[in-house]
Structure 1
Amino acid sequence: MVPSNIGVYEIIEEVGKGPSAIVYQATNKNTHKRVALKVINASLSSDESLITDLQRSVVVSSSLEHANIAKVYDLGEDLSYHFIASEFIDGVALQTLIEHYKKFDIDHACRIMQEAAKGLSFAHKQGIFHGCLHPGNIIIEKQTGRVVITDFGTSRALFTHNSELKNDSKRLGFIAPELSSDSAPDSQSDLFSLGAALYYMVTGERPAPGLVSTPGAALPQMPRLRAHLPKAPIWLETLVARLMASDPIERDCSAEDFIEEIEVGLESDKNGVSDMAPLGENPFQSQERRSDS
């Protein structure tokens, strides 16, 4: 059982649990600031290479200051517990919202992904990449609707050192195929994840691990977006298919390109899809945040 105090942090409550860590809402006793405190499982804390990778990731990602990225504050150890302290976002994970609504209105889904892309764009310009982006670590803040990417860098480190995470179907469908060999992430692998998340939001179908959109690829072909959503505009299907190509060169897209192509597409086609989550409905009613760990 985790003690009520770890380092300078006072535990308030558990907010999430996963294969690699338990996440708590906590307070920094010196600054009185609320934080998300991710306490690494004991079985992983003994992995020195993981701790080294996490230290490196925290040093890099802590430099990111952007509205669409959760700020990383600290990596520490106390009472044999290794922990990561980051900005606490009082919100709901996109994964939870998709499970609740099944599908999202195309315009709403695209606007959410544009906001996430703004965070990626900022990080990519600093040469920093997420490497393990999926709907579980994209949070929608309750009060403001702000879209926030969490676990920058640290999620990838945990993924590469945890065999249970590597076999987690909730994550694998969103991770670019070139990262399966523990290759270093880059902008194109993050854009793959963005495209996969958008596919999931508008179709309600989770991308299966190993399925990609490139015809003739060595891996099985992913069903086209319009196979699930016949009324979807062709520009959206084309964009998502390109982002989820098995070959990173075929994606040929920056986060800024993604934002612009979405904007142009939405302007060119105003037709909505009536059987999806309406924009006016409160997505947080009876929902609790599900933190990715």
Structure 2
Amino acid sequence: MSEEARKRCPYCHEEIMAAARKCKHCGEWLEDPPTTSTTGSFANPETMVSEALSEQYEIERELGRGGMAIVYKGVQRNLGRAVALKVLPQGMTHDKKLLERFHREAKSAAMLSHPHIVTIFDEGETKGVHYMAMEYLTGRDLHEIVQESGPVDPGEAVGLIAPIASALGYAHRNDTVHRDVKSSNVMVTDTGRPVLMDFGIAYASSESRLTQTGTVLGTPEYMSPEQARGNEVDARSDLYSLGVVLYEAVTGRLPHTGGHPMSVVYKVLHESYTPPRQLNPDIPEWMEQVIAKCLLKDADERYQTGEELAEALESEDPGEAVPIPTASSGDGPATGPVELGDDGNGQPSKTQVFRNEGDGAPEAPAAQDGDVATDTMPSDDDPQTSTAEPDAATQRQRLRIVRSLEGSADWVNAVTFSPDGQYALSGGGQDNIKLWEVVTGNEVQVFNDLESQPISMALSPDGEQLVSQSSSGGIQLWDVASGDLVRTLAEGSEAVLATTFSPDGKHVLSGNGNDGSLCLWETATGKEAVAFDDHMEAIFSLTFSADGRYVLSGSGQSGKLSLWDASSGAMIRTFEQGDWEATYVFSVAFSPDGKYALSGSDDMAARLWDVESGRLLRSFKGHSGLVIAVAFSPDGQFALSGSSDMKVRLWNVDTGQLSYVFDGDAAGVNAIAFSPDGRYILSGSKDSNVHLWTP
């Protein structure tokens, strides 16, 4: 199966879905935005900025866009001085907390005067435009240099990193912690001067994107372990991040990477990394020691000040020796997983979350509280059970809620993301469905006049249509942009409690009548296209395989999990084996590659199945309530389960290990969904809220 097409936002350069109309990272529209009563119409950003700042500055051209700001080259009129104007996008100016931090930290950063810290001349707000004026520099950032030219010579790296370490030391003495030190924030001017950028917006950008609770998570690959845990950070966290920058500069790679943000966070917390000299033999031993000391998990064991790190680099003396980690043992806890390099073909190897036993790895901890963990897929006749309690040895970290999308008056029965990940939808009380903007948490659209409370919904692959299933059995098709009802596909289909779109968006799969019959409807006409074989019992859950060949359904009477041929409507097989004792299959999911099926049921377990053979591969046990919702991560490496026990759990598909517990829902979890890029998770629960989570 081919991966979803992706592209880079032309403004902030973050990766987004190819079909995205608006960047979920910087909030900028990639085409003319829709005009609605909530969002209104947007003027051309550059024209708006130019007009608002015209008395003080002349805007010459746009220089680029970062994750949370637009940068223009301008001229300060009264001094005739070239400046770089950093402006918050209009899509973020409604966030009062972000604005407060932006201006407060800008003023704090303006107090810093150091040759290797960008100088801030002015900051303020004019006619709704929030800006920061700073010295205009020409050059390239260090990340761009490494990407284009490969690793930097170790001697040159000292000349770039030591001044930044000194600059951080100066900032720390002045009570300013950067919190987002990374190679793209180190500008190397045309004259070779390294300058640390983005003082003053690091806090603001992080808060907007990742938290509203005071916990700041920067860029995962550069985060210190204490920052990854959400703990209070100090100067030593910045020095850890600078150690990552040094590692990247001299090896051309990052210490910790992964296709999934949660995997990266876990690696930062628990894994070792490939020693730099294994990647680049030209790196001197003393520099490898410096890097190792910067990257120690314990902040007390690292360099304590920027000046100390600068001195170690300039004198080529790392100080007291520290152990150099290997690919099979790290400086974290003995239970940490093996650090993986590439697969021998220059490609990153598959992400793993937990250490495999053997191969020289430290002994894994004994199972506790009934935990059973397997390292490989079970044999054909040996399905495995994986169980874990919150306090078990395999439990690593509890994730926190980024924000709650409030406003539902009753249970939230369904949640989903738009195909580009910019929006979230929730269906619950008041007989309506709400559309939210993920970056801001703002309500954008409301779909009213549903026949009754929504219990299931899905977005078309292009994000332009919504199908809903009401508790009364009505199946309705909606226009997303306007919120208007397009047509009603069926009425009184109370025995089928789910509906979804085919992968090509041409059909809607749902019930027809009150006997549990499945039907494919043409999206364009509303006509019945395919009637599935008689099922004659309630169906609680439905999903399509990504290639559109198969349909998976979960029964609400016999506990059957059934596989159907989507083109003919014929049943192919039922999945029944082993400890399968369920009566209700509340939720089902296909893995992205279509190889596996996932089910959640009333016997407090989620199960992984082989689609081709119908064999039960493993059971994920540990919930103390009904498993009402399941989902796969976009890369297929993780399985997600949500339960009436108020917990959402993330499991490693390959090993069955419990990776994370999402602990924060005040009532049972009815629905869960991964964002298309795997960065966020939505949960809908009986506490009337939709919760957005991230590592």
Q: Is the 1:28–1:35 contact (alpha carbons within 8 Å) kept by the matching residues of 2?
A: yes
Is 1:152 aligned with 2:199? yes
Is 1:6 aligned with 2:52? yes
Structure scoring higher RCO (CA < 8 A, sep ≥ 6) equals 1
Q: Is the 2:107–2:200 contact (alpha carbons within 8 Å) kept by the matching residues of 1?
A: no
Is 1:27 aligned with 2:75? yes
**RMSD (CA atoms):** 2.3
Whole-Å separation in 1 of the counterparts to 2:228 and 2:52: 34
Residue in 2 aligned with 1:178?
A: 226
Choose between structure 1 and 2: higher strand proportion.
2
Residue in 2 aligned with 1:137?
A: 185
Residue in 1 aligned with 2:283?
A: 232
Is 1:91 aligned with 2:139? yes
Q: Is the 1:130–1:185 contact (alpha carbons within 8 Å) kept by the matching residues of 2?
A: no
Question: SS state of the match for residue 12, structure 1?
Answer: strand
Residue in 2 aligned with 1:281?
A: none
Q: Summarize deviations over 1:27-80 as a string: whole Å, max 9, x none.
A: 112222211111112221111001111121012111111111111122222232
Which residue, out of 67, 71, 78, partners 2:115?
A: 67
Whole-Å separation in 1 of the counterparts to 2:225 and 2:204: 17
Deviation of 1:183 (Å): 4.4
Q: Summarize deviations over 1:189-240 as a string: whole Å, max 9, x none.
A: 110111100000100012323334xxxxx52222221221234222211211
Q: Is the 2:85–2:132 contact (alpha carbons within 8 Å) kept by the matching residues of 1?
A: yes
Q: Percentage identity across aligned positions?
A: 29
Q: Is the 1:203–1:228 contact (alpha carbons within 8 Å) kept by the matching residues of 2?
A: yes
Which residue, out of 65, 68, 83, partners 1:17?
A: 65
Whole-Å separation in 2 of the counterparts to 1:125 and 1:163: 27
State which structure, 1 or 2, has the greater radius of gyration over its C-alpha atoms: 2
* Structure 1 gaps, min length 5: 165-169, 213-217, 268-293
Question: Residue 31 and residue 185 in structure 1: after superposition, are their counterparts in 2 closer, same or farther (change >3 A)?
Answer: farther
Aligned partner of 1:251: which letter? R
Question: Is the deviation greater in 179-188 or in 191-200?
Answer: 179-188
Deviation of 1:245 (Å): 1.7
Aligned partner of 1:127: which letter? D
Deviation of 1:93 (Å): 1.0
Whole-Å separation in 1 of the counterparts to 2:243 and 2:166: 14
Whole-Å separation in 1 of the counterparts to 2:84 and 2:241: 24
What TM-score do you get using the length of structure 2 for normalisation?
Answer: 0.35
Q: Summarize deviations over 1:156-211 as a string: whole Å, max 9, x none.
A: 321221149xxxxx932112232235545421011011110000010001232333
Is 1:189 aligned with 2:240? no
Which residue, out of 251, 256, 264, partners 1:203?
A: 251
Whole-Å separation in 1 of the counterparts to 2:278 and 2:118: 35
Whole-Å separation in 1 of the counterparts to 2:108 and 2:232: 15
* Structure 2 gaps, min length 5: 1-43, 212-217, 258-263, 319-695
Whole-Å separation in 2 of the counterparts to 1:177 and 1:200: 18
What TM-score do you get using the length of structure 1 for normalisation?
Answer: 0.81
Whole-Å separation in 1 of the counterparts to 2:73 and 2:228: 32
Question: Residue 79 and residue 117 in structure 1: after superposition, are their counterparts in 2 closer, same or farther (change >3 A)?
Answer: same
Whole-Å separation in 1 of the counterparts to 2:158 and 2:175: 25
Question: SS state of the match for residue 221, structure 1?
Answer: coil
Whole-Å separation in 2 of the counterparts to 1:238 and 1:266: 9
Aligned partner of 1:203: which letter? T
Alignment: residue pair count: 257
Aligned partner of 1:239: which letter? V
